[in-house]
Copies of this chain bind each other. A is one copy, B any other.
Amino acid sequence: MISFDSFLMEDGSPIYLQIIHFVQRGIVAGTIADGDEMPSRRMLSAWIGVNPNTIQKAYRMLEDEGIIESRSGAKSCVTIDETKIQRIRSSLLAKDTQSLVTSMKQMGISKEEALALIETAWREEEQP
């Protein structure tokens, strides 16, 4: 069973998108693998304190993207292959880096300072 313990509400972006991204990152990280069972809608709903309909919406979109499969009465399963993983990985990384670089450039931050900031933040998250 996939764990959603580390799932946290973040920014103001739609919850169903946050769920999708959480799953996508888990797939890229390898903590979510082909054949894994997703938690049921109701269970995840209670787990992270979100309405079942919102979970349903996220699951439906994951299904549309071919990331999970749902059969009525049975648990939903992850269905991915290496090709899909690489596609997701590239897409997520591009989004992350691009938004940071754009933002920092607008603030007049130098590349060196940016890299230093990242490195610091990386270390701080390890032993907070």
Contacts and interface: CB of A to CB of B under 8 A. Distances in A.
Interface of A: 6, 10-14, 17, 21-22, 25-26, 28-31, 51, 64, 73, 89, 92-94, 96-109, 111, 114-115, 117-122, 125
Contact of A10 (B29, B89, B99, B119): B99
A25 B97 contact: no
A96 B100 contact: yes
B93 A118 contact: no
Nearest to A92: B107
5 contacts: A10-B102, A25-B107, A93-B117, A98-B125, A115-B118
A6 B107 CA distance: 13
A85 to B, nearest CB: 11
Contacts of A31: 108
A29 B97 contact: no
A111 B101 contact: no
B122 A101 contact: yes
